[in-house]
Chain A
Amino acid sequence: MNKAFIVILFLVSIQLFSQEKYLTKEGYISFFSHSLVEDIKADNYQVLSVIDTKTGEIGVQLLMKSFMFKKALMQEHFNESYIESYKYPKATLKGYIINFNELDAQNTTVEIKGVLSIHGVEKEMTALAKIEVLKDQINLSGTFMVEVADFNINIPTIVRNNIAKTIKVTFDLQHKPYK
């Protein structure tokens, strides 16, 4: 399907049901790799996330190039050699928050189930998240682990020991009502 059409469809659906949608364009997602050789961390403060409060559905989208590293060389290798951002510029999560409509004040931990798409590979995932449903805000935060091998990411043998096989992903998404 044409990408422009998907974006238009997304915009129209947001407008039609805006009162039920909570959105952030400045969400935070980071990943962390720990190995004996070095620790690698990258932060992305430009994450788009939408929650449909009627159905509990959640859609998250981010640009790989928006991940900021401490070192320019790490950022270059990540984009050019490992994640191939020119070919796969975005990562997405399409899923839903289980029992979203049954949340009460005490129920602050939720399970998110969905399909994570990175590097052109889709993989089902679940994650636990802390949820805060306020009057004009829905906050979701938590961590989950991602296996590098699941997403067909090629790490050259020479740097294989520098990068962990399992990457820790941290998220903090503060949604506001879409107006």
Chain B
Amino acid sequence: MKTKYFKILTIGLILIIICLFFILKLYNKPFIDIKNSKARIEVTVENILFEFQSNERLASEKYVDNLILIKGEIADISISNGNTIITLKDKNDISSVICQMLAEDNLNALKLEKGDEIIIKGICTGYLLDIMMVRCILTKDNF
């Protein structure tokens, strides 16, 4: 009888430990690995701005929350609250693409200058007056 209870208790404990393991794993689920993930879409600054300005709803469905590669010219590099911000601009447009870089690329961003043509990989979060990108990195094609 004692052995039976012991077996039930052991199985119960193992099940609880397995459940806790999966709950903890889910709770600590990592963010997408930008560096090692393949971008779903490649686009130029001119084209993505055109798409958002023509139809924000359709462009949002296509780009928002997706990992994308954007090619364009640097209009500005700034540091705000410890984050490097690279602004890519289309010369003929009032709007731009504002890319908030991951901290790991802060040093690489400092090697760049205004006017450089670069490719940035990151996640698009939408459009205000400008297209917003977060968790951005510079691809190795830039160096």
Judge: A and B partners, yes or no. yes
> Which residues of chain A from 75 to 106 have any CB-CB distance to chain B below 8 Å in the complex?
75-76, 89-90
Which of B57, B94, B134 has the most chain A CB atoms inside 10 A of its CB?
B134
1/0 per residue A34-61: CB within 8 Å of B?
0000000000011010000000000001
**Chain B hits for A76, CB < 8 A:** 29
> Which residues of chain B from 9 to 64 have any CB-CB distance to chain A below 8 Å in the complex?
26-32, 53-57, 60, 64
B129 in contact with A25 (CB, 8 Å): yes
B30 in contact with A26 (CB, 8 Å): no
Which of A3-11, A108-116, A126-134 lies at the interface? A3-11
Interface secondary structure of B, over-half rule: mixed
Q: Is B130 an interface residue (CB 8 A)?
A: yes
1/0 per residue B106-141: CB within 8 Å of A?
000000000000000000011011101011000000
Q: Is B3 an interface residue (CB 8 A)?
A: no
**Chain A hits for B29, CB < 8 A:** 71-73, 76
- Asked whether A4 and B30 contact (CB < 8 A) given A66-B125, A90-B126, the answer is no
B64 in contact with A65 (CB, 8 Å): yes
CB distance from B34 to the nearest CB of A (A): 12
CB distance from A12 to the nearest CB of B (A): 10
Q: For chain B, which range describes its interface: under 10, 10 to 19, 20 to 34, or 35 or more residues? A: 20 to 34
A63 in contact with B132 (CB, 8 Å): yes
Q: Once the chains are docked, how many angstroms separate the CA of A172 from the CA of B137?
A: 25
Query: With contacts defined as CB atoms under 8 Å apart, how many contacts are there between chain A and chain B in the complex?
Result: 70
- Asked whether A63 and B128 contact (CB < 8 A) given A25-B98, A45-B100, A71-B27, the answer is yes
A45 in contact with B81 (CB, 8 Å): yes
Q: Is A22 an interface residue (CB 8 A)?
A: no
Interface secondary structure of A, over-half rule: mixed
CB distance from B61 to the nearest CB of A (A): 9
Q: Is B78 an interface residue (CB 8 A)?
A: yes
Q: Is A28 an interface residue (CB 8 A)?
A: yes
CB distance from A95 to the nearest CB of B (A): 18
Which of A7, A46, A62, A76 has the most chain B CB atoms inside 10 A of its CB?
A46
Q: Once the chains are docked, how many angstroms separate the CA of A7 from the CA of B59?
A: 15
A26 in contact with B94 (CB, 8 Å): no
**Chain B hits for A45, CB < 8 A:** 80-81, 83, 85, 100
CB distance from A90 to the nearest CB of B (A): 7
Interface residues of A (CB under 8 A from B): 3-4, 7, 10-11, 25-26, 28, 45-46, 48, 61-63, 65-66, 68, 71-73, 75-76, 89-90
Pull 19 A–B residue pairs with CB atoms less than 8 Å apart, ordered by A. Answer: A3-B56, A4-B53, A7-B129, A11-B94, A25-B98, A25-B130, A26-B78, A26-B85, A45-B100, A46-B125, A46-B132, A48-B128, A65-B125, A71-B28, A72-B29, A72-B30, A73-B27, A89-B126, A90-B128
Q: Given A66-B126, A72-B29, A90-B126, output 7 extra A-B contacts at Cβ < 8 Å.
A: A7-B53, A11-B129, A45-B83, A46-B128, A46-B132, A72-B30, A89-B60
